[in-house]
Amino acid sequence: MLFAIFACEESDDDLDKDFILAYAELRIAEQEYGETEDGKAVRFEILQRYGMDADIFEEKIKRIKNRPEKWLEFQNIFMTILDSVEKNTETKGET
């Protein structure tokens, strides 16, 4: 399903699949762990898994936010991912 979401999007280095998935995982980790030391470690691991560091991540976010049409596109993709995760969780009976 995620492939279909990204297949329809025009190519944009700031809206690449790995970046948006990293953003989604970081947001989920933030909700789950908050600003604890464990949370910081988990977020660091997520960024490493996607080949980024905090500076690269923040620079991409800044570029997207400075382009309102890309920020809206980014948010739409992000919400689709979260909806997909929520549906998968409900299907597995984890809620």
**Segment 43-70, tens digit of pLDDT:** 999 999 999 999 999 999 999 999 999 9
Would you tell me how many other CB atoms lie within 10 Å of the CB of residue 49?
12
Question: How does residue 11 score in pLDDT terms, banded at 50, 70 and 90?
Answer: very low
Residue 79 tokens read as 């919400």
8 A C-beta contact, residue 86 and residue 93: no
